[in-house]
Amino acid sequence: MPARRRTLLKVIILGDSGVGKTSLMNQYVNKKFSNQYKATIGADFLTKEVQFEDRLFTLQIWDTAGQERFQSLGVAFYRGADCCVLVYDVNVMKSFENLNNWREEFLIQASPSDPENFPFVVLGNKVDVDGGNSRVVSEKKARAWCASKGNIPYFETSAKEGINVEEAFQVIAKNALKSEEEEEIYLPDTIDVASGSQQRSSGCEC
Amino acid sequence: MASDSNSSPSITDCTDQNPNPNEVTDHLTTLAITESENAIVDEVDSNQEDSVDIANGSLDVNYDQNDDTQVEEELPTGSVLVSAEVEVVEDVRERNSSGGVDNGIDNSEHEIDVRLSPSSSGYAGERGTSSATSNSGIEEVEEDGNVITLQDSSIDAVADSASWVPGKRHVDEDDASVSWRKRKKHFFVLSHSGKPIYSRYGDEHKLAGFSATLQAIISFVENGGDNVKFVRAGKHQVVFLVKGPIYLVCISCTEEPQEALKAQLELIYGQMLLILTKSVNRCFEKNPKFDMTPLLGGTDSVFSSLIHAFSWNPATFLHAYTCLPLAYPTRQAAGAVLQDVAESGVLFAILMCKHKVISLVGAQKASLHPDDMLLLANFVLSSESFRTSESFSPICLPRYNPMAFLYSYVHYLDVDTYLMLLTTSSDAFYHLKDCRIRIETVLVKSNVLSEVQRSMLDGGLHVEDLPIDPSLRSLSLSPHLGQERLTTDSLERFIEVDHGIGGPAGLWHFIYRSIYLDQYVSSEFSSPINSSRQQKRLYRAYQKVYASMHDGGTGPHKTQFRRDENYVILCWITQDFELYAAFDPLADKALAIKTCNRVCQWVRDLENEIFLLGSSPFSW
């Protein structure tokens, strides 16, 4: 394997609308935060180069729209993902409860080869809001759910304050990379002339 | 046999609107000549009625029974000046940019800085990352009419392919770069999960977001049970080609026909298969995350060279190959020794000189598609390592069998001439090496190689050599036409004026494609089609005509006579051949038709030398 081979990792961000998916991504990629809410239409795409354990790789981040009307795009968007980030708002119980749906929907649509061990990361966002007083989902509850789903790494983040964002994406990259290790073997055939007519040219206009 | 009666009774003319508004507008502003947009399209249509020409993207409906001479009379004399002066301007630009083949990167960058036009600084500033960009880069800019800079080092047709260096361009760019966004023609390859595989310009990884967007567009339409094929957005055309898990996209504002761009995407896909076979599909089936890029490592030059060929090699749109002109016995001698080898377990034996075939032989019943030959030759010619040693490499001929590899033994016999022996056996290297030694010995002994080199030096057919009768010549070189060129701006003119202006009746160039042989012959470029940019423009014009002639909706057509401010293009298709000819924009139509007949006769007279005849490897 070439030493300086670069890897591209496709990362999907899922979660209910308004939980701060786009803000997290903007904080991570552009180090910016805006209080204004702009609904993502379909999906947004950002790239970020990351150095990790002496390797350079590119995160291709798919920031999807949380609204249900965009869910028909599922297969197209989820196909070939290396990691899936599930985001909820610690101040909105419903967004936490929906994590299960998001996870299952992803596994159905993306149908990864090893669903049990597919790398997810869960982010509880907006921990900064109201000094934590409006919080309704406890860290304990969230961690319990993550543990029950095969020890999904969990982070409490604030896209606004930039809390834990960098750390979370480090783990996202690390986990995505882990599953990439099993190399695909590419073994094409050789033409067997002896086996008769199979070798006829398809492009020959007779 | 061609005949005048074929054309005269059935001619319909239509006055075309200016085919390329931007371009002409620009000329107008430069030259302050107002009548130049009177371009005329004369179409001789097989069915004569309601023939619609869509080559320019606008519909030009013919009206019948219009006498063509009338139309020609309406042509303003100003247009002579237009064509002449435009050329002058071009020549000046070329000379200014005299960077030359040997000049390094620094030089061309300086030139850019010096001649930046203020309005387009963003674009031009990015243009000089390497001197090798010169050809493709500039020509693209040129087409817009926005003349910014020129680093075009090649002045001759001959210099064209020699000065072009294959390889990736502008790796530092991404979709946020102004320069990247202004490039005229992008090609992208990506996987069905949106991972980038190849981009003509810019770094694939930096373009990951862009390729994700492309994937989203394609998938969105697919989700609705449909397929997106083509989008027009202002000046840009976006052409999509979905090949299983591999998506190919071209984004272009070159005004090439959509079909032509799609055919180019097909060739890029074919080139990819040639390197990897269709087995990559299985990798995607097993693992949609599959990243193809490492498998294509080191092949940037193969793709950039193919994309470059889209603007200089007519084989890319004619789907035919061309032969190096050789005396019949010489080619026979080469064919005979290849035949010997083919009987000893070699599937195809191909002897080529650059992109021209000297001879080729296929084992029984095996046939080789011209597109496969194009892709194979491009692969070999663009990979430097083939030149330095004898090589044994797995390759796939996508038209022959896209699923599996063949093995190709490649050896250069001299600097331009190379032998390719294709086999199905992965351990045939030493056998093929022996074959090569035998072949090489015979070729040297029978002087084939020296004949090849001589032919390379002599070049192919020259329009000036077209046999004519004297009366024709005096007619064709109408005095004002020749002199205008000399006087308009004699200071700025090149010496090339002395070479005259092409062949009889204002014939500048032609391509003759034999349908039965799947081969074409193209005349050498000569004045006034000198620069690679002009050649590219002519090829694009041919390509347009090709597309309109082969358009399923309005065609097939038999003849087309198209006149614009650059040239007259005459296309003539019969059961046996297709002829594409370019004339001086003021060429007389009747004379042009006569000249085309002569060209066909000439080609037929020479067919023993310019085509590979006889034991055709094509099994129809």
Q: Which residues of B touch A189 (CB under 8 A)?
A: 277, 279, 403-405
The yes-or-no verdict on residue B251 having pLDDT over 90 is: yes
Residue A112 has pLDDT above 70, yes or no: yes
CATH architecture label of B178-310: 2-Layer Sandwich (3.30)
- What's the token pair of residue B160? 């064209």
Q: Do A202 and B399 touch (CB under 8 A)?
A: yes
Q: What is the mean pLDDT of chain A?
A: 82
pLDDT of B334 > 70? The answer is yes
pLDDT number for residue B555: 61
Residue B323 banded pLDDT, cuts 50, 70, 90: very high
Query: What was the pLDDT predicted at B602?
Result: 94
A-contacting residues in B 276-295 (Cβ below 8 Å): 276-277, 279-280, 283, 286-291, 293-295
Domains of chain A (ranges; CATH) run 7-186 (3.40.50.300)
Ranked by mean pLDDT, the top range of A184-188, B117-121, B178-182 is B178-182
> B172, B192, B289: which to substitute to probe chain A, counting the most A Cβ within 10 Å?
B289
The β-bridge partners of B445 are none
Q: How many CB atoms lie within 10 A of CB B78?
A: 14
Query: Which residues in B lie closer than 8 A to residue A187 (C-beta atoms)?
Result: 279
Number of A/B CB contacts below 8 angstroms equals 150
Q: What mean pLDDT comes out for the span A8-27? A: 91
The phi and psi torsions of B99 (rounded to 5 degrees) equal -35, -40
Interface touch B405/A191, C-beta < 8 Å: yes
Min Cα–Cα distance to chain B from A141, Å: 33
Interchain proximity A80–B293, CB inside 8 Å:
no
Residue range B179-200: mean pLDDT, rounded: 92
Check residue B501 and give its pLDDT.
65
Mean pLDDT of the B487-491 span: 37
Can you tell me the distance from the alpha carbon of B198 to that of B77, in angstroms, rounded to the nearest whole number?
49
Q: Which tens digits make up the pLDDT trace of B376-428?
A: 999 999 988 898 888 999 999 999 999 999 999 999 999 999 999 999 988 89
Listed in sequence order, the DSSP H helices in B326-428 are: 328-342, 370-382, 385-388
Residues B557 and B213: their CA atoms lie apart, in Å, by 40
Would you state the pLDDT for residue B69? 31
Among B193, B210, B620, the residue with its CB nearest the CB of A79 is: B193
Confidence band of B220 (pLDDT split at 50, 70, 90):
confident
Cβ distance of A80 and B404 shorter than 8 Å = no
User: What's chain B's length in residues?
Assistant: 620
Residue range B251-278: average pLDDT? Answer: 95
What is the C-alpha separation between B167 and B134, in angstroms, rounded? 12
- CA quadruple B551, B553, B559, B560: dihedral positive or negative? negative
Element holding A156 (H helix, E strand): strand A154-156
Token pair listed for B528:
């006034």
- The yes-or-no verdict on residue A73 having pLDDT over 90 is no
Instruction: State the nearest Cα–Cα gap between B359 and chain A, in angstroms.
Output: 19
Gyration radius of chain B over CA positions: 24
The CATH architecture to which B321-454 belongs is: 2-Layer Sandwich (3.30)
User: A64-78, A152-166, B168-182, B265-279: lowest mean pLDDT where?
Assistant: A64-78
Q: Which amino acid is at B64?
A: D
Alpha-carbon dihedral angle through residues B220, B221, B222, B225, given to the nearest 10 degrees: 120
User: Whole-angstrom Cα distance, residue B598 to residue B582?
Assistant: 14
A10 to B290: CB separation less than 8 angstroms, yes or no = no
pLDDT tens digits along B537-565: 999 999 999 998 887 766 667 899 999 99
Two domains, one topology: B178-310 and B500-610: yes
Find the residue in B nearest to A56 (Cα): B205
Interface residue B116 vs chain A (CB under 8 A): no
CA B292 to chain centre: 28
Q: Which residues contact B546 (CB under 8 A, 6 or more apart)?
A: B260, B317, B318, B571, B580
CATH code of domain B500-610: 3.30.450
> Please, what is the average pLDDT of chain B?
73
Q: In what order do the strands lie in the sheet with B577-583?
A: B11-15, B40-44, B559-563, B568-573, B577-583, B507-514, B519-522, B321-322
Does A47 sit within 8 Å of B193, measured CB to CB?
A: no
pTM over cut 0.80: no
The residue among B171, B189, B193, B425 with the most chain A CBs within 10 A of its CB, best to mutate, is B193
**How far apart are the C-alpha atoms of B544 and B560, rounded to whole Å?**
11
Structure tokens at B129: 């990352």
Indicate if the pLDDT at residue A41 is higher than 60.
Answer: yes
User: Are the beta carbons of A8 and B195 separated by less than 8 Å?
Assistant: yes
State percent of chain A over pLDDT 90. Answer: 40
Question: Mean pLDDT over residues A3-7, rounded?
Answer: 65
pLDDT of residue A182: 57
**In chain B, where the domains are located:** 178-310, 321-454, 500-610
Q: Which helix (H) or strand (E) holds B257?
A: none
In angstroms, the CA B19 to CA B41 distance is: 10
Q: How far is B286 from B166, CA to CA, in rounded Å?
A: 34
Please state, in angstroms and as integers, the Cα–Cα distance from residue A185 to each residue in B217, B279, B403, following that order: 30, 11, 16
Confidence of residue B143 (pLDDT cuts 50, 70, 90): very low
Task: Determine, for residues B404 and A81 on separate chains, whether the beta-carbon distance falls below 8 Å.
Answer: no
Contact B196 A77 (CB under 8 A): no
CB contact under 8 A, A62 and B405: no
Report the percentage of chain B scoring pLDDT > 90: 46
Q: What is the per-residue pLDDT for B132?
A: 35
CA distance B306 to B248: 15
Question: B459-498 burial by CB neighbour count: b if 16+ within 10 A, else e?
Answer: ebbebbebebeeebeeebbbeebeebbeebeeeebbebee
Name the residue type at position B259: E
- Backbone angles phi and psi of B63, in degrees to 5: -115, 145
From chain B, the residues in CB contact with A193 under 8 A are: 347, 424
Cα distance between residue B172 and residue B313, in whole Å: 28
Judge: B196–A8 Cβ closer than 8 Å, yes or no.
yes
Q: Which residue has the higher pLDDT, A55 or A58?
A: A58
Q: Is the pLDDT of residue B84 over 70?
A: no
Which residues on A lie below 8 Å from B372 (Cβ)?
A: 203
